[in-house]
Chain A
Amino acid sequence: MTTLSDPPKQQFRLSMLLYDTRYRSATIQVLAMFGFMLLAAWLISNAAQNLAALGKPISFSFFTESASYDINQRLLEYDSRDTHLRAALIGLLNTLVVAVLGCITATIIGVFVGILRLSSNWLVARIMTVYVEIFRNVPVLLWIVFAMAILIESLPSPRDFRGEDPAATMDMFGTVAITNRGVYIPEPLFTNSLGNLHIFGDSSLRFDISLDLVAVLAVLAASIFAMRKVAARAARIQEETGVRPKTWYIQLGILFVPLLTLLVALGFYLGYPELKGFNFTGGTHLRNSLIALWLALSLYTAAFIAEIVRGGILAISHGQTEAAAALGLRSGRIMRLVVLPQAMRVIIPPMISNYLNLTKNSSLAIAVGYMDITGTLGGITMNQTGRELECVLLLMLVYLAISLCISSVMNWYNKRMKLVER
């Protein structure tokens, strides 16, 4: 036994790196890493050398040059004299707009379809199955182009609204114009506007904040805070006395009175679209390209979300539903209060990847001429400046950053919804 407790001291030899199983895996890993780094270094130096030989070393100076092109949908003020950087920013905002709108709509449609697919009504369940199968089995690019083609070909053009006996008329009591150039809806305007807050002066990243909007949001936030206070007080009284005081009229008052007062003070009114010259002017113009992209992306992604929701619901043991039914809950409330909250834990992780997919798929926007960041930075700017590598790398970074933001928000939400184990 003593020989075992004191093994002979082994000299380390180089060959042990290969033949000794204790070291072999480390050797292989180190070699693989070296190989990978060599390959990477070769690629980078090759690219740098070739670009230098072409006379196009990597440079981002084009960002400060004037973009010289116009963008139709712009959330911030922009004209063709602004820089490429600002054009990219406008494009980024357009990407975010369609991504946010798409994610919200896709979630709503997806949850409804997912639940309805489990409906006991045969017809409803089958229709939803057909919807899911049609949408998720056809490439999203085709849906986008198809949606655009339908909008362009089937809706009347602004010309049709003209004349004594027009071929088309405005909808919703003459307030909304649906044309094949987009939908014009009334816009909120203020006669005693508080004006805008300019930020970043004259730089490419400058933007305005509407003080009217800030005021409205502040009043709303304050109202909601007060409403929660009232609700908390009502709950306290209920705990003490067993009787919940009637608060709904107080709540309604708190919500609407300050808001309406503010709107009246600001001189709120709606600006309606009207036909002037070639187009409708006034109102908010939701362009065809936005609508087609938004619609196609949401319907497509909703088909996947519906399956995730269905899977999540099916993952909850049927005993839960039966137990809730035994307590006397109706089926709608069982779904809302018992099944869905538990299903959320299964649903959220795959939902994240669908949000990411939708955001990345929005880069197909150019198919319908929607000027997202791929259309501005990765399209016109790249084309006019010839800086392919720089633009594509930046574009990748931008999408990476957006995706990581979505992931982190959703992961935070996922953690909040996770089953708290004690």
Chain B
Amino acid sequence: MKKSVLFGALTVASLAAGAAAAGTLDDVKARGKLNCGVVTGLAGFGAPDANGEWKGFDVAICRAVAAAVLGDASAVEFVPTTGKTRFTALASGEIDLLARNTTWTFSRDVDLKFDFIGVNYYDGQGFLVPKELGVSSAKELDGATVCIQTGTTTELNLADFFRVNNISYEPVPIETNAEGQQQYLAGACDAYTTDASGLAATRAAFEDPSAHVILPEIISKEPLGPLVRHGDNNWGDVVRWTLNALITAEELGVTSTNVSEIASNTENPEIRRLLGTEGTLGEMLGLDNEWAKRAILAGGNYGEVFAQNIGETTPIGLARGLNAQWTDGGLLYAPPFR
């Protein structure tokens, strides 16, 4: 029995590893569908809407890549993953791309054998507490019960934060954001911690968002970005430059509404290269020259995606902050298309 169990596990591992070896770009083209790992449901970042259609900030990356590679923004198979299952899903080849507010860390990049292809949201870990608790700083949380999604970097930051400040806490590990919300609202935990953007999204879904505050401390750097398997550089380039195309498009003022018009009559060489009216950037990636145009048409440039899903006019209401273009004092700085 012991043996058969061992072999069973090895079979799974070998099948999984076998799938990872082939070229992902060719696989995706042959399949005609992009398998994209997303969050199980986080308003604004990735959640199915009333019609069952996936919408959100991270989901937009999947759609842009699908549009660039396959020419169809809807040719995406969304695979919901939890904090725990996401890396196995990617490593095993179940998904081609993981766009699920995942923090770029050294060990994930180097040791877990993934490639982060960029940062689509600069975030930091915060705490959400009920207003009636009267807490104004995270350092006042001594002895508090804190709900935390297991398998995340936030779990490690939390341990470090309380250790450094020499205060105690009781962690309540939970599997998904929905469970965390349930426990938090029932008062089974005093505070809920995750990335500040996630907190804002969670709070927006509450019945009375104004009864809860996000504490001012941001206890960590959480650069969130899409990632792919390590070793398939060609595929990594496709995803990286699709994200860069969205960011550059915003910088150059190319939007989903004016992209066709600009493509035909602009004189700006960088825009011409980006949209494929000049040069062969798309061919270098193994795509056609209109890839970036399609990616922008899919959901708009970075700024449009941000504004539609999590921006200040949405219930999530996040300001651009660090995620503004470098020209506006933010950190978004895409390398040139040349």
Contacts and interface: CB of A to CB of B under 8 A. Distances in A.
A388 B1 CA distance: 21
B173 A72 contact: yes
Nearest to B111: A386
B11 interface: yes
B5 A400 contact: yes
B182 A70 contact: no
Given A43-B7, A385-B111, A50 B14 contact: yes
Contacts of B6: 393, 396
Interface stretch (A223-231, A273-281, A329-337): A273-281
Interface residues of A, number: 53
Interface string B144-158: 110000110001101
**Number of chain B interface residues as a range:** 35 or more
A53 to B, nearest CB: 7
A157 B144 CA distance: 13
A152 interface: yes
Nearest to B16: A50
B151 A55 contact: no
A380 B187 contact: no
A50 B173 CA distance: 33
Contacts of A279: 143-145, 170, 190
B188 A288 contact: yes
Contact of A68 (B112, B132, B160, B170): B160
B88 to A, nearest CB: 6
Contacts of B211: none
Contacts of B143: 276-279, 281
Interface string B178-192: 010011001111100
A159 B187 contact: yes
Interface string A142-160: 0000000100110001111
Contacts of A380: 150-151, 155, 173
B284 interface: no
A181 B151 CA distance: 22
Interface in A310-330: none
Interface string B1-35: 11101110111011011101100000000000000
B163 A278 contact: no
Contacts of A384: 107, 151, 156
B144 A278 contact: yes
B204 interface: no
A299 to B, nearest CB: 22
Q: Closest 3 CB pairs between A and B?
A: A50-B17, A157-B187, A386-B112
Interface of A: 40, 43-44, 46-47, 50-51, 53-56, 68-72, 79-81, 149, 152-153, 157-160, 180-181, 276-279, 281, 288-289, 366-367, 369, 371, 375, 379-380, 383-386, 388-389, 392-393, 396-397, 400
28 contacts: A43-B10, A47-B10, A47-B17, A50-B21, A54-B91, A70-B155, A70-B162, A72-B170, A72-B172, A72-B173, A80-B156, A80-B159, A157-B188, A159-B187, A180-B188, A278-B133, A278-B144, A279-B144, A366-B173, A369-B175, A371-B173, A375-B173, A380-B151, A383-B84, A388-B88, A388-B91, A396-B5, A400-B5
Given A40-B7, A153-B186, A281-B143, 12 more contacts: A44-B7, A46-B10, A47-B14, A50-B18, A54-B113, A55-B113, A157-B187, A180-B187, A279-B144, A366-B173, A386-B91, A388-B13
